[in-house]
Amino acid sequence: MLLRQVFFDKEILKFLAFTLSAILALISMDFFPSLSMGQEVTETSQKDQAGEAKLKIGQIIIKGARKVKRKDIIKVMSKKAPTLKDLFRTKPEFEEEILTEDIQNIKKLYWTAGYYSVQVAHYWKTSEENLVTIYIDIMEGEPTLIKDFVLEIKEEEIKSLEEKILKEIPLKVNKPFVLDNYERAKEIIYQYLADKGYPLTSVEGETKVDEENKEAHITFRVQPGPQAYIGRINIQGNLNVAEKVIRRELTFEEGQLFSQSKIQESQKKLYDTKLFKTAVISFDRAINEEHQIGILVKVVERTMRSFKFGVGYGTDDKLRGLVGWTHRNLGQRGGELEITGKASALTKEVEGNFRQPFFLDKNNQLLLSSLIEQETEPAFVLNKFGNKLRLSRKLTKTSEGFLGYNLEFNKLTEVGLITEETLQEIAADITLNSFISVGLRNDSSDNLFYPTKGNVESLVVEVSSGYLGSQENYLKAKTDLKGYYELVDKVILAGKLSLGLIYPFDAARDIPLFVHFFSGGSNSIRGYPYQKLGPLDQQGLPRGGNSLLESSLEIRFPIWNKIHGVVFADAGSLTRELLNYPLNDLKYAVGLGLRYQTIIGPVRIDVGHALNPEIPIDKYRLHLSIGQAF
């Protein structure tokens, strides 16, 4: 019955039909590119325009482009047709000489893709309003294929590497000769040999193109030079940061075989310490008699003390503000002290954090944290004083784990009607919660704010027990799985699955309200009010639950400039029972959204529609926040 209600409701079908048609329209239009397949205008003869209004470009119609994307063709043209963003701007002037140059640029673009026999014809028509429609007809022809390529290495000691190098090169026999791949191949050859101790490698390439047979013959001549080891490491520019702090970030040592990848990795690690504005590692262009090469590490330090502030707004937390002060390089050992104050309709807090990298080991970081917080939720107000000790360790390039201990003093006030009966004793006193936490996280996504590929997996487990001096006894675990996949150019399919469980060790004592899971809102199941998906008391206040299931799918696509669109579907459940995830009774929501890209993440607007709520709620709900939903 529920599935029939969800999938056959007329209003829902209309919404889904509108969404699907909008996506298809955007894809078919290449997301408003600077060209059009528009209507043909009236043709007039080209006359001397002296004394008359200048001709303006109205639209550009491109036909025959299949192997090269239309948007890439437009990029190489100097004069572009107006798009939506140019609605209130003057249309570009039509110049025949510039158009001729643009046609040549289009040919060059095809040549770089291996289509040397491409033919590009063009003509234009002028309307009575002096608007020019430019027609570009492309006959791509057959691509020039790679017939063979040879790697010439004279030095016998590295000829054994030839087969491995060839496997790394993005050039394959009988595949189109793409100029970018050719240039990339030279870079790969150098990088491979530089990682094997040959930093002075030179790579020369020669290509012979047989236009008649559409064949390319490629030769790479490689001179690796002498093998080198890391020599003396000189450090310049550090005024406040101790030299040992810089050296511990280096992934190479004196006497080791030279590796270009380690040079690049060390440079990134230095920048990631947040101690330097710039960090550049270079090496000498000469090798001494001991086969050593000198290394220079040059840094420019940042200001070691800084102040920050910010304001924002979200549908759930309303107006919010932040102030913070940071002291870097504390004790000249690279430690960082940060004190932050935050305030919003949901929380008011002051938090201090001290982070010490390289704690006992180069892959470890120690975190000491103290927090004073007042959390105002729909069902309760929680006053908290907490302390945290956490040791995190980098496991691989993309993964890390942590082990921590938390000590919290909590006081509940203004508890709702139903929950107050079960928490009456707790609400009257300050309770002690002492627990151990352990977590794992792997992040292979390609961008923090705007991921297009990769995955993010995380697991956090908390154990609170009387053996730790706690008044609470429970196990709480939550795992999140996120994935990102590019369907077509810049159209991203994003998905999320979250599972949570709470297991009480003491059946005679209820789990505190502030430990429970809550669901619904901007970062949860959109279309539902904040924390209103799940069990409610007689006053309609959320009671929270012990078993959480949330899932989301989004299609993210560009609209114009920095504005992107989103179509989403969310589903989830929250129950008080243990390990109870009713797949046949999930709550669903669908919606549309807009994203405006900024350097700190997208400004997000979502309109969600709850399909099958248990209680009467508004048909549509607006969610405003900063950052992706997941």
195-235 pLDDT per residue, tens: 999 999 999 999 998 988 999 999 999 998 899 999 999 99
Does residue 445 have a pLDDT over 50? yes
Q: In the structure, what pLDDT confidence band is assigned to residue 417 with cuts at 50, 70 and 90?
A: low
Does residue 547 have a pLDDT over 50? yes
pLDDT of residue 52: 60
Does residue 56 have a pLDDT over 60? yes
Q: Are 338 and 352 in contact (CB under 8 A)?
A: yes
Does residue 300 have a pLDDT over 90? yes
Strands of 154-304 (E only): list them: 202-210, 215-223, 229-236, 276-283, 292-301
Helices (H), 238-291: 243-247, 260-272
Does residue 2 have a pLDDT over 50? no
What is the C-alpha separation between 224 and 426, in angstroms, rounded? 74
Mean pLDDT of 621-630: 91
Of 72-81, 364-373, 484-493, which has the strongest mean pLDDT?
A: 364-373
Domains of the chain: 56-139 (3.10.20.310), 145-223 (3.10.20.310), 229-301 (3.10.20.310), 358-626 (2.40.160.50)
Mean pLDDT of 425-437: 80
What is the C-alpha separation between 283 and 214, in angstroms, rounded? 43
What is the C-alpha separation between 83 and 33, in angstroms, rounded? 7
Take residue 225 and report the two structure tokens written for it. Answer: 């030079």
Take residue 331 and report the two structure tokens written for it. Answer: 């004790």
For the stretch 556-575, pLDDT in tens is 999 988 999 999 999 999 99
Take residue 262 and report the two structure tokens written for it. Answer: 């380690």
Instruction: Out of 106-120, 154-168, 469-483, 568-582, pick the least confident.
Output: 154-168
pLDDT of residue 493: 97
Q: Are 40 and 134 in contact (CB under 8 A)?
A: no
For the stretch 495-532, pLDDT in tens is 999 999 999 998 767 788 899 999 999 999 999 999 99
Q: Give which of 67, 62, 66 is closest to 33, Cα–Cα.
A: 62
pLDDT of residue 367: 97
Does residue 8 have a pLDDT over 80? no
pLDDT of residue 575: 95
Take residue 150 and report the two structure tokens written for it. Answer: 């040879």
Task: Look up residue 212 and give its DSSP letter.
Answer: T
Mean pLDDT of 601-608: 93
156, with CB counted inside 10 A (0-12, 13-18, 19+), is exposed
Q: Give which of 394, 480, 403 is closest to 435, Cα–Cα.
A: 403
pLDDT of residue 49: 43
For the chain, what is the mean pLDDT?
Answer: 87
Scored b (16 or more CB within 10 A) or e, 508-535 reads eebbbbbbbbbbbbbbbbbbbbbbbbbb
pLDDT of residue 40: 38
pLDDT of residue 333: 83
pLDDT of residue 88: 58
Take residue 284 and report the two structure tokens written for it. Answer: 């000498």
Identity at 232, one-letter amino acid code: R
Q: In the structure, what pLDDT confidence band is assigned to residue 443 with cuts at 50, 70 and 90?
A: very high
Q: Give which of 184, 221, 188, 178 is closest to 202, Cα–Cα.
A: 221
- Number of residues that make up the chain: 630
Mean pLDDT of 413-431: 61
Q: What is the pTM of this model?
A: 0.75
The sheet carrying 145-153 orders its strands as 145-153, 215-223, 202-210
Task: Look up residue 304 and give its DSSP letter.
Answer: S
Does residue 167 have a pLDDT over 90? no
First to last CA, the chain: 31
Does residue 90 have a pLDDT over 90? no
Q: 330 - beta bridge partners?
A: 335
pLDDT of residue 12: 47
What is the C-alpha separation between 293 and 298, in angstroms, rounded? 16
For the stretch 450-464, pLDDT in tens is 999 999 999 999 999
What is the percentage of the chain residues whose pLDDT exceeds 70?
A: 88
pLDDT of residue 30: 42
Instruction: Out of 330-334, 346-350, 516-520, pick the least confident.
Output: 330-334
pLDDT of residue 517: 95
Instruction: Out of 99-103, 232-236, 428-432, pick the least confident.
Output: 428-432
